Amino acid sequence: MVNEKKISSGFIYFFGAFGGILFGYDIGVMTGALPFLQHDWNLQNNPGAIGWITSSLMFGAIFGGAMAGQLSDRLGRRKMILISSIIFAFGSILAGISPHNGILFMIVARILLGLAVGAASALVPAYMSEMAPARLRGRLSGINQTMIVSGMLLSYIVAYLLKDLPGTMAWRLMLSLAAVPALILFIGVSRLPESPRFLIKNNKMDEARRVLGYIRPNKEQIDSEITQIQETVKEEEKVNQKASWGTLLSNKYRYLVMAGVGVAAFQQFQGANAIFYYIPMIVEKATG
């Protein structure tokens, strides 16, 4: 069990947010790899293939994010993050060893990566919010965002360091090295405890109390939080028995759903993804 030795709250929060590195690295790595890949596979006049290779990650992330919630309710947040890191490492290596002109192979590998990225992007904020006390949740969600942009920065640095390698080796290494942070995440999260909320929901009260003992300063706070989580779980179970997809469109929730979906949609429509993925090609086309 991961709970035999006391684990510092800093270690828990750091590796709880580390999944953001994977998300950021894989957003950014294609920025550096794409110019080399396009020249190696002669894709300059095949924008459809470039678009599919690039966006297939997000296609997989749709399904990874959608499945992660239900699976984590059954298996646990920690276990699902571990599974996501394994899938991510496997997908990274597959992308790096794609056969020459293996466009379909690369797309499938990127979709597999997307499953892991989508799951991690859904699970990491949930895990962090369930581990952190209320007063720290905003700050810790900021750590997750910092991890995402740090992953992007890391991918740019790796691309810069590898740019002088032969073209076919450069992009393959850029993509394959994403397996390294995935391995670090797996090792770190394997030492983390499960979310206390998941443990309480599954009637593992002693384990939940032990986990909260790592990250809450006093016994009274632990007892109070356990009671609060139990009440929330009971309330959710009552709501879930009555809820359906139609509930999302009811007057009570319609505007909340529109706000949540709208914020997520406009984050994509505002165009930053085009910059993340295609800026070297845009600059090359503009300046020669």
pLDDT band at 2 (very low <50, low <70, confident <90, very high): very low
Task: Using pLDDT thresholds of 50, 70 and 90, give the confidence band for residue 197.
Answer: confident
Give residue for tokens 């991961």.
2
Distance between CA atoms of 43 and 53, rounded to whole angstroms? 11
Coil, helix or strand for 45? coil
pLDDT given for residue 241 in this prediction: 67
% pLDDT > 90, the chain: 25
Asked whether the predicted pLDDT for residue 86 surpasses 80, the reply is: yes
Two tokens, residue 123: 């699970």
**What region, left, alpha or beta, does residue 97 occupy, with left being phi > 0 and alpha being psi -120 to 50 degrees?**
alpha
**pLDDT averaged over every residue in the chain:** 84
For residue 202, what is the DSSP state?
A: T
Coil, helix or strand for 165?
coil
Residue type for 100, please? Answer: H
Distance CA 236, CA 197 (A): 12
- Cα separation, 128 vs 136, in Å, equals 10
- Does the structure show a pLDDT above 90 at 272? no
Per DSSP, 72 falls in state: H
Instruction: Please give the Cα distance from 248 to 255 (Å, whole number).
Output: 9
Place of tokens 């990874």: 64
Compute the distance between CA of residue 168 and CA of residue 162 in angstroms, rounded to an integer: 11
Per-residue confidence at 6, pLDDT binned at 50, 70, 90?
Answer: low
CA distance 66 to 84: 13
Place of tokens 């597959």: 94
Of the candidates 24, 8, 28, the residue with the CA atom closest to the CA atom of residue 174: 28
Which pTM does this prediction carry?
Answer: 0.83
pLDDT digits (tens, 9 = 90+) for 89-148: 999 999 999 999 999 999 999 999 999 988 888 888 888 878 877 777 777 777 878 888
